[in-house]
Every structure is written in structure tokens, then in C-alpha cells.
Amino acid sequence: MIVLGIETSCDETAVGVVGPEGVLSDVIHSQDMHAEYGGVVPELASRAHAEKLVVSVRAALAQAGVQRPDVIAATAGPGLVGAVLVGLCHGKALAATWGLPFFGVNHLEAHLLSPLLDQPAPQFPFLSLVVSGGHTALYLAHGLGRYEVVAQTIDDAAGEAYDKVARMLDLGYPGGPVVDRLAATGDPTAVALPRPRPRAELPQTLRRGLSLARSDLDMSFSGLKTAVGAALAGPQPPSPADLCASFQEAVVDVLCDRISRAAQRTGVRRIAIGGGVAANGRLRARVAALGLEAFLPPRARCTDNGAMIANVGRLRALSGPPDPLSLTARAGWPPGAEPSA
Amino acid sequence: MSLALAIDCSAPEIGLAMGSLGDPRPRWAWSARADRGADGLLGPALVEALAQRAAGEALQHVIVAVGPGTFTGLRVGLATALGVALAAEVPVIPVCSLLARAAQITDEVDVLALLDGRKQRMYGASFRCGPGLPLARGPVADLPLDALLPAGHFVAVGEGAVVAAARVEAAGGRVHPQASAPPLGALLRVGALLPAMDPAAVELRYVRPPDAVVPAALAARRALGVGTTTST
């Protein structure tokens, strides 16, 4: 079964083709124009998706050596709705015209299951950290479509904190790669930054302020970002390299702490990571050293891509009926929930 | 005549039609009000449209209204049109949304095509209509209605004409009875008079630029030559 996957939920127009042996092609057009604005501008993203769709689909099919796939999959959410709509409508039109089954894929589920595209692939159950500019959550994946949130951020996503810190330092957008590069030359102990502790370890008086937290392993990155701002505004601002290294170490400490605690609590020793921040060198090194069985997708598979959408389409096509073409785009959609929920 | 699919999602009332290129009478047509969720309505309608093909009958053109109009609606229509064209390996005929509306009228009269641009502005263009392709009297504009109203008698078409019917009529205009309907027959008719192109070459005509503003702090720092823009 050959599946074409389309991803347009944010600022990548991505189309991939996946078959029984794995990824056959993965075409990604990244949108550079957002750097000028310091973040993704939804209207610009939607316009660019509409311009790149046809060339992306053609290139993905040509690179895969496929004329017509067997199944079409496209991101249906969560994401920027105007951007999601472009790929979703295109995918539905391809499916309708070719007379093929169509699957509207949850973008987070696609990241969560992207480690299954490479060998060795994790067996269910496994823990999966999805960490990007829009999402930061740790899931326990019991099986296809069955995911339990073990921990998640109650405010900023980790990638969002990277972008904001990069903006404070005038490092440009996106912040993750440049902070990672600068951090490699700095001292991670140079600036004392807070590590939000799990709620269960906080004094009772402080727990009341965490009413948003749904799990006692939930995370927060907003305070960390504020602390970086305070360090910069202080009498002796640290060097950008030291600040980036210290900030990155704090983020990675929090993420790895929650992974370790979740592994201990659930007894599940397999951990996979996905999402743009999963391409971060320090995070990958620390996760690999946790003493768990770590599944780290290639960096190109961490950021948004079409192959991960095709992967979920393929898994769903093997196990259940297609989605109706009345499926609509959605801004919010927890992985594992029915699209109609 | 060749089989063509016409798509218009420029305004809240969207539509699809299947018919012969050049013939304003569709074999099958569908329209619906879609203030939200156009994508959910269009998918099932597309399946029904494609089912109108007779056995062995191949689609040969896709005609799509490419703007101006609602940004999201235009993209829903274009993404759908491009998907059909790509899968069917047929060319696309892009048509100005305002010209398509004017082309609903084949009498020799002056026509003002209007689409509501919100923010107290209209997308508008004046045409001299007739049995052929409507002749543009000026460029497609994004202006307050008063700046678009022509002198003398005219027929107003498009959803904008319905929204501003009282002001149009006070200015000497007559609102076309089918003003807000998607101009599906007209798309089929004028599609035969316009060039077809490869789907990859089709572009939307937004007319209005996006509301994207560089944050003041970023702009100020750049003006001072502080900071860098890094794209990775």
C-alpha cells in the first residue's frame, strides 16, 4: 500500500510518500518569509501553501516513482486552521478524483508515531515526547489511536520559549537552531535559571497557583523565559553563548526529568521523541543517556514533514475505514480523540 | 464540447458545477451558504459532481474563480481545483471572481461587480457586458463602495451588491436578482474564452495585501541596525 501524505499545518508545505518498506519520498518547502516578523504569520503561511502545493505533490510522486498512490492522507489539525485547510482540501480533491480512500490525520499523532518510520522502531507501549514551537507534551502510546497524556506544558511550548529567548537576544527566527548552535560554545552553569519542579514536590502554598496543571508532572516554560529576560536586564548581563547554554540546559533538564519520572511511574522503558525541538542536539544527547531505550528519528523527520502524515494514513488504512470527505479542519484536536469530538 | 468542472468559493455562497466548456447551462450544479466550514461542504459535493461523468467520459478542464474574495474561501476553492486538475491531469482555467460575476449578464449594459471586502471596503470592478467576454472599464479595486460606484445606470452583481443594495440603488444601480449566487454558468461560459494553464502556474488574485505587520520592537531594532535575521 502506497500512501501520499500532505502536511500544511504551520510553515512547511510538505508532501511525503510512504510504502511498506518505509519512506519513498519526503519533499519539504520551508517558508522563510516569517523570519522578518519574528514568528509565523498565519495569512502569509496559508498563501505560501497554496503556491507550493502542486509542485510539492508532483515532486513527491516523482521522487517516489509513483504515478498514483493507493491512499491519500492530509493533516486535518491541530494547527493554523487557514493553513491546514489548504492541504486538507487538496488532499480530499486528489482522493475524490482518483477514487481513493482519504484519511484526515492528527498532526500530533503523526509526530508521536514518526519513530515508527525508521528501524529499529519502538514497540507499543512507548513514551513519546512531542516537543515543538506549538506543543510540548509527553504521551504514553498504548497502540494506534490510544494515547494518554502523561505531562504537558501549562503555558509556553518549549519551542516557543526558544523563539522568545532568541528574540530577546536578537538572534532571529526560528530560535531553536541558532540557540542550540550558540549554546554549544557557552557554559551551561554560567547563569542560574529555575527548573519548574513537579507539582507534588512544591510546598502546599505554591500548588494553589498551579490550578491549570492537569498532571503533577506538567511543565512550565514561561517562568524560565522571564528569568532569561531578568538576567539580560541585570547589572552584568551574561554573554549570549552562556545564556543560551544555561537556558537550553534548563529546558532539557525539565524535559528529561519528566521523561525519567514518567518511565518510573508507568514502568515503560521505551522513549521516542518528535517535533521540531527533537532535532536539538543537547536534548537528543541527554535523552539517549537517560538509561532508557531511546528512539530518536533523523533530524529531518523531527520537523514537520509529509512522510509522518502518510505514515499515520497508512497505519489507519490497515486497521479501519477512511474518513468522510466532509471532514473539516480544526485548530485544536487531542491525539487519539475522534475527529468529530 | 469538453467536460469542465467549475468551482467558485470567492464569497460566502459557494458552488460547484459540471458542464460543457462554453455552455452556460450546467449539467449539474450545487451551491450552499458557507460562512464557516466550506471545506466540509465542498468535499461531498465534489464527489457528487465527479459522479456526473458518464462511463468513459473524462474531465478535460477545471475552471476556478481566483479572486478577489474571501482569502480563506479562495484558497479552499483553489486547493480543491488544483487537486482535481492534478489527479485528472487536466489544465486549469483561472477566472477573475468579479469578471465571472459580470459575465452572468450577456445583455449590452454597464455592470458593476462587487464582493464584500469587509472593513467597510468592497472589491469591485466595472465592465461593459455583452455576449462575449465582459470588457473591463478599469482595474479591479479594493475601495470603499462610494469610490466604486459609476455614474449613470448600471446593473450590480455579486454578493457585495446585495450587502449594499440600498446604496447601489440610490446611485442609479439595479441589483441583479441572482446577485449573490455563485456564477457557475458564467464560469463555464467564459472559461472557453480564457487561456488554460498548468495547475502549478495558477495564482490567486488577492488584490488586498495580508495584514502582516513587523512587530514595532523588531522594526525599531532593525532600523538601528541591531540584530540579525536568521532563517534555518
Residue ranges of domains in chain B: 3-201
Residues A85 and A217 in one domain: no
User: What's the confidence (pLDDT) of residue B48?
Assistant: 97
User: Which chain B residues touch A if contact means CB-CB below 8 Å?
Assistant: 37, 39-44, 46-47, 50, 59, 71-72, 75-76, 78-84, 86-88, 199-200, 203-204, 206, 210-215, 218, 221, 226-232
Residue A244 resides in a domain = yes
Residue A333 domain-assigned? no
Residue A335 lies in a domain: no
Q: Which of residues 141-180 of A touch B (CB under 8 A)?
A: 167, 170-174, 177-178
Could you tell me if A262 and A315 lie in one domain? no
Residue A275 lies in a domain: yes
User: In angstroms, rounded to a whole number, what is the distance separating the alpha carbons of residues B179 and A131?
Assistant: 49
Q: Is the pLDDT of residue B230 over 50?
A: no
CATH number at residue A10: 3.30.420.40
Q: Is residue B217 scored above 90 in pLDDT?
A: no
pLDDT at B224 over 80: no
Q: Which helix (H) or strand (E) holds A294?
A: strand A293-295
The whole-number average pLDDT for the span A178-188 is 94
In a domain, A331, yes or no: no
For residues A162 and A106, state if they share a domain.
Answer: no
Q: What is the mean pLDDT of residues B116-134?
A: 96
Co-location of A146 and A263 in the same domain: yes
Query: How much is the pTM?
Result: 0.93
Judge whether A326 lies within some domain: no
| B228 pLDDT above the threshold of 50 | no
> Does A35 contact B230 at a Cβ distance shorter than 8 Å?
yes
Angle at A30 between CA B212 and CA A324, to 5 degrees: 90
CB B115 within 8 A of CB B68: yes
Q: How many domains does chain A have?
A: 2
HSE at residue A253, side-chain half, CA atoms within 13 A, is 18
Q: ipTM, 2 decimals?
A: 0.94
In terms of domains, do A269 and A307 share one?
Answer: no
Specify whether A311 is located in the same domain as A187.
Answer: no
Same domain for A227 and A184, yes or no, is: yes
Residue A16 domain-assigned (yes or no): yes
pLDDT, residue A204, reads 62
The CATH code of domain B3-201 reads 3.30.420.40
Residues A133, A106 share a domain: no
Domain that holds residue A147: 123-296
A166 and A222 in contact (C-beta within 8 Å)?
Answer: no
Give the C-alpha separation, A332 to A242, whole Å. 36
> Does one domain contain both A183 and A53?
no
Residues of chain A contacting B211 with CB distance shorter than 8 Å = 43
